[in-house]
């Protein structure tokens, strides 16, 4: 009810305002005044403000102020190769001095050496005969007694006789004379066959050892050589003669 009343009052006020405005010129026409000029009221338009685009700036991004770029016009570009430098070459090492080869080891010195050896064929005999003498005294050489001589197989093991005894013999202080056993001497009493030691190897040959080594050693239990090794071969029966000299 109140709202309707207020609306009616508002409408009445507006109506009175319009009537009042229209009565003014009517009254003015009755006055003896100059003819009034009617002015046209031109509407005025206020330009709307132009919309400026909004730049959204996220809070996470930091505004980086522009930094001045240094002038590197004088700097060498990264891809420009550096000028070569003349590095001096290292001096070549001096050639090694030629050294003389070491002298060969001295030949072993043996107390006993063979001055000669030969084989005399003889039926049913397999024997090593020793003619051992010492240093020359005046015009003759004395017999060299007390020397041990051994018969070894090609591997260096001492050969055994039929009874299992080592085939090792010792030279005597005095020599013995035989005839017809040395094929290098005439069969007469002017050229006797003399020897002061021998080894009968017939049992070793019968067991099949025909190739063997003759060696002078220190003792029957110490086979350290005091002479070179002399290989012999009993491919046929006979006698091997050894003429040896002690130092």
Cα-based distances in Å from 47 to 44, 52, 158: 10, 15, 140
What is the structure's pLDDT at 194?
92
pLDDT at 56 over 70: no
> Using an 8 Å Cβ cutoff, are 225 and 217 in contact?
yes
Domain ranges of the chain: 112-246
Is the whole model's pTM more than 0.85, yes or no? no
Condensed to tens digits (0 to 9), the pLDDT of residues 139-175 reads 888 999 999 999 999 999 999 999 999 999 999 999 9
What is the structure's pLDDT at 28?
42
Condensed to tens digits (0 to 9), the pLDDT of residues 16-41 reads 666 555 544 444 444 454 455 555 55
CATH fold label, 112-246: Immunoglobulin-like (2.60.40)
Return the structure tokens found at 4.
């309707």
Query: Of 108, 112, 144, 109, nearest to 216 (Cα)?
Result: 112
């Amino acid at each position: 009810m109140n709202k309707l009343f207020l609306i009616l009052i508002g409408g009445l006020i507006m109506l009175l305002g319009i009537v009042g405005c229209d009565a003014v010129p009517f009254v003015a026409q009755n006055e003896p005044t100059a003819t009034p000029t009617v002015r046209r009221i031109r509407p005025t338009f206020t330009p709307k403000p132009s919309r400026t685009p909004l730049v959204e700036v996220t809070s996470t991004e930091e505004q980086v102020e522009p930094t001045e770029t240094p002038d590197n016009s004088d700097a060498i570009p990264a891809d420009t190769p550096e000028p070569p430098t003349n590095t001096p070459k290292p001096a070549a090492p001096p050639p090694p001095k030629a050294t003389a080869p070491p002298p060969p080891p001295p030949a072993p010195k043996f107390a006993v050496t063979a001055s000669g050896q030969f084989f005399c064929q003889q039926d049913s005999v397999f024997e090593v005969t020793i003619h051992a003498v010492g240093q020359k005294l005046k015009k003759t050489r004395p017999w060299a007694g007390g020397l041990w001589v051994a018969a070894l197989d090609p591997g260096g093991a001492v050969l055994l006789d039929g009874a299992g005894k080592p085939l090792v013999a010792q030279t005597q202080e005095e020599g013995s004379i035989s005839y017809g056993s040395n094929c290098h001497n005439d069969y007469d009493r002017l050229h006797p066959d003399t020897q002061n030691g021998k080894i009968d190897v017939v049992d070793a040959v019968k067991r099949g050892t025909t190739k063997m080594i003759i060696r002078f050693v220190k003792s029957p239990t110490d086979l350290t050589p005091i002479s070179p090794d002399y290989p012999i071969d009993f491919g046929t029966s006979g006698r091997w003669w050894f003429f040896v000299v002690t130092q």
